[in-house]
Amino acid sequence: MAIIMDGNGRWAEQRGLPRGEGHRVGTTAAQEMVYGALEIGLRHLYSFSTENWKRDTDEVTAIFGAVQRELDEGPIRDLNVRQRWSGRPDKLLRRP
């Protein structure tokens, strides 16, 4: 199942906050999606599209950092949820 996380940065900007704050707040929605997926037995979620790579490097780094913090320190850390990469690994190191 694909989850397209969109609008977090705009949400923050509309409230006079930095875009990164929108991504941080968006992790709450992501947690709910993970819990829901586990509840219905869904094993894989896709959430970072090729369009996201067009964002500013600092923003992409902040998004990945937020995801990693959730997996390492957030409430879902004990649920055996892991981050996996699919697609073109070269894109992880060399962005357009």
- Centroid of chain to Cα 90: 19
Joined tokens for residue 72: 């390492």
Catalytic residue at 58? no
Work out the angle between the directed axes of helices 19-39 and 57-73 (0-180°, nearest 10).
Answer: 40
CA dist 96 → 54, 55, 79, 93 (Å): 7, 10, 34, 10
- Candidates 8, 52, 78, 90; catalytic one: 52
Catalytic residue at 8? no
Residues annotated as catalytic are: 6, 52
